[in-house]
Amino acid sequence: MQKVVNIGLLGSGTVGSGVIKVLEMNQRQITERVGAQIKLKTVLVRDTSKQRPQLANYQVTADINDIINDPEIDVVVELMGGLHPAREYMLQAMEAGKNVVTANKDVVAQFGKDMFAMAEKHDVDFLFEASVGGGIPIITPLKQSLTANRITEIMGIVNGTTNYMLTKMTEGGSTYDDVLKEAQEKGYAEANPSADVDGLDAARKAAILASLAFNTRVELKDVSVEGITKITPDDIDYAKNLGYVVKLLAVGKDSAENGVDVRVHPVFLPKSHPLASVNGVFNAIYVRGNAIGEAMFYGQGAGSLPTASAVVSDIIDTARDICNDTFGRVRCTCYEHKVLCPLEATESSYYVRLLVNDKPGVLGYVATAFGDAGVSLKSVIQTKRNFIDNTEYAEIVAITHVVKHACIEKAIEVLNNLAVVDKIRNVIRVEKERG
């Protein structure tokens, strides 16, 4: 008799419905690949009286204990989202000896240590491929395929909402407010978009990626975060003219000199960089290792079926473990202690856009201010003039050489105190050319 692996599903929203669809439409292939039938036995919902046509053929409950205490359920798939009670339900499931699959980046980023410890204690799987990059396989490659490498850099476009918005601003010259409204109308952005546009969603994913890539524990609080709310069409145009595109990147770097540096922020990205051509709602993750060199993983970073694809791949992996009587094949590899690089010690080139009084000698004052702060300038352009309250101003755009963040902060402080500087309009990191 063919073995059956029973699933308990927590949540039947967008991704949960996608998981059900993938399991149904690819049932034959999945059974052949696993060597067992994967059967969805019970689905946890908030309200059992609500009509859910996609669940008509499945047992439905509003009581988590119906899943936790069911000895026939082998795998609990958590797709509720949020921290609580998702974290508690997953811990309870593992304590009961059940394998857990999740797409929950919040829990993995903030409570990953607890989850891995519980999985190890009870000799079960805890898998989370769908927590980063939607349908893009990246977690498993970092845990398995790339383990022969010392990874020194991981960089990604991991938020589809902000990438869509920046793409629209680049292609059409639209303002931030206009593209946000369009993204909300299309369902790419929430009514309250702060998690996306302020960079928090990307920061959670950055913590997960960096932990796996660098074999250390990076928590959400360790990630410096800046969103896209200050990006203007002018910044987009300057980027174009200087040979860059503007992207919101999750950046992780590991060096012997500075330690582990993990951050999320907009960057001027050279048009030659592989990530520069990733547009719309697509995601991509770029990895540099000392053996493989450069590699990039690209695909749809969200959506019902792409994300469900990643979830079901984890279900298949843990089902194979069950069939072969092996559990936790790849434990958490994030136990090496590494020094975290403080923000002020991070290094980058910077784009600085200033509004200054349009009169002789101003450029000299600005250059001196940068120099006094220990910032060397790669290029300086004095561009368009502005009339504000009958006063003539000019715009200065400077690109610095690579400097420590502490130096650029000092330069900004000095510039803000200059009488000839009316306003610092933006400061954006500039990513260097590959090589």
Structure tokens at 226: 């800046």
Domains of the chain: 4-134+304-323 (3.40.50.720), 150-300 (3.30.360.10), 347-430 (3.30.70.60)
pLDDT surpasses 70 at 435: no
Task: Identify the pLDDT of residue 337.
Answer: 86
- Look at residue 385 in the predicted model and tell me its pLDDT: 73
3-state secondary structure of 74: strand
Please write the tens of the pLDDT for every residue from 296-335.
Answer: 999 998 889 999 999 999 999 999 999 988 765 666 666 6
C-alpha span between 83 and 110 (Å, rounded): 9
Provide the whole-model pTM: 0.94
Q: Over the stretch 247-276, which tens digit does the pLDDT of each residue have?
A: 999 999 999 999 999 999 999 999 999 999
* Average pLDDT score over the chain: 94
Radius of gyration over alpha carbons of the chain, in Å? 25
Which positions are annotated as active-site residues?
Answer: 205
Please give the pLDDT value at position 1. Answer: 54
For residue 175, pLDDT over 90 is answered with yes
pLDDT, tens digit, 9 for 90 and up, residues 83-141: 999 999 999 999 999 999 999 999 999 999 899 999 999 999 999 999 999 999 999 99
Which residues, including other chains, have CB under 8 Å from residue 18's CB and lie 6 or more apart? 303, 304, 305, 307, 308, 311
pLDDT of the residue at 332: 66
Question: Which tokens hold the place of 135?
Answer: 């349908």
Over residues 199-209, mean pLDDT: 97
Mean pLDDT of 172-186: 95
In 3-state terms, what secondary structure has residue 434?
Answer: coil
CA distances from 132 to 26, 128, 148, 205, 339 (A): 23, 8, 22, 6, 24
Q: Is residue 142 within 8 Å of 115, Cβ to Cβ?
A: no
**Which single residue is written with the structure tokens 């049932």?**
27
